[in-house]
Amino acid sequence: MSTVVTRCAPRAWRAVLPLLLAGCAATAPHPPADPIAGLGARVLENYIRPHARELAASTAQLQAAVGPYCAQPADAARRRSVEARMADVAAAWAGVEFLRFGPLVEQNRLEQFFFWPDPRGVMPRQMRTLLAAADPALLEAASLRQQSVAVQGLPALEYALHADDASRAIAQGTPAARYRCAFAAAGSGNLARLAVEIDAGWGPQSGFAAGFARPDPGHDIYRSGAEVATEVLKALSTALHVARDQKLAPALGDDAATARGTLLPLYRSGLTARYLAAGAAALEQFRAAARFDAGLPAGSGWIDANLRDELRRVQEDFDTLQRPVDQAIADEDQRDAIVHAVLLLANARAIVDEYLAPALGVNLGFNALDGD
């Protein structure tokens, strides 16, 4: 059985004790006749649509900030505005990236927006080639959209604005620097376009969203509430897997000496901590919007409560960091908080897979990454 942090365990042992079912059991309301009734509608209205709108708004604001910056690249205030808007986009993206179904996966929007993980370094290699060529035709929206997904999204934009001492280089205004900034402007426009498409895909006119909210035997994808519940819990489980096993564990290494900060997402801009903390906060908000506790059997309320607490503690761990995450993982004192966050993420996934899903009558089966 997986190790799971419990609410009733002393803090020093939270990351190592198994679930104590008898000790943690708490009275929960009696479930409705169908414990997953209305799940899709709750998640859609209370979580997905607000966060899709937030992504569209934040990318539009980033696009609006990059143009003036490129017009006056030596203006420090305009540079700070771009960096602040990019941080907002990273946080907003963390709120939707785990919805690996429907609008996000259609037309490879997930990969277009955030090509990652990238263990072979495809993005930086292609970006070096692209920036060296300085082809003005590539800056056209239609042309950029036809390029490799590795150069279309937020990691590529981060590279353009931060790699190779980009802030200083862009401020100098050389031809190469002007092209780099023009590419950043084109990239921010591409992100805004993708965000609008994702938002529309979850909007009132979307047949996919309608079926998700109101599954029906005649719908092409969601024929029952059980299929929607499986999608929701699979998204949650997969997100916890990605956060632990793809975003953090490879970079942590076995100890501070073997840590590799360059494996972390968004390390060049120093946005890793905000991005990861926003991801944990998003999963907690998603959990709250789903109201899993309303459908749990009597005496099983501790399942939802433990999941809530673990996700909140992950956020707390990132909030304690005094250095950027790519530096903290190689710091003997700072890395403990990140190691603890990794344990909490594993615990949270065990709660979802081994307790929450069975309690709701959901068989998760394979996750969204199986077969990749």
Q: Tens digit of pLDDT for each residue in 198-217?
A: 999 999 999 999 999 999 99
**Contact between residue 329 and residue 335 where contact means Cβ atoms under 8 Å apart:** yes
pLDDT at 368: 53
Exposed/middle/buried for 38, CB within 10 Å: 0-12, 13-18, 19+?
Answer: middle
Question: Measured between alpha carbons, how far is 360 from 225 in angstroms, rounded to an integer?
Answer: 11
Residues 6+ apart with CB under 8 A from 273: 318, 321, 324, 325
Tokens standing for 151? 């150069």
Amino acid identity, residue 314?
V
Domain 42-206 class in CATH: mainly alpha
Amino acid identity, residue 154?
L
DSSP 8-class letter at 214: S
pLDDT at 15: 43
**Contact between residue 312 and residue 284 where contact means Cβ atoms under 8 Å apart:** yes
Q: For the chain, list residues with pLDDT below 50.
A: 1-33, 371-372
Instruction: Check whether the bond before 117 is cis (ω within 30° of 0).
Output: yes
pLDDT at 23: 42
Exposed/middle/buried for 167, CB within 10 Å: 0-12, 13-18, 19+?
Answer: middle
Question: Measured between alpha carbons, how far is 233 from 213 in angstroms, rounded to an integer?
Answer: 15
Question: Measured between alpha carbons, how far is 202 from 226 in angstroms, rounded to an integer?
Answer: 20
Exposed/middle/buried for 262, CB within 10 Å: 0-12, 13-18, 19+?
Answer: exposed
Amino acid identity, residue 201?
G
Exposed/middle/buried for 77, CB within 10 Å: 0-12, 13-18, 19+?
Answer: exposed
Question: Measured between alpha carbons, how far is 225 from 233 in angstroms, rounded to an integer?
Answer: 12
pTM: 0.90
- Cα 225 to Cα 35, 46, 196, 282, 357: the distances in Å are 10, 17, 28, 23, 14
pLDDT at 10: 36
**Contact between residue 285 and residue 232 where contact means Cβ atoms under 8 Å apart:** no
What backbone torsions phi and psi does residue 300 show, to the nearest 5 degrees? -110, 15
Tokens standing for 284? 């907690």
Please state at what angle helix 175-201 crosses helix 49-71, rounded to 10 degrees: 160
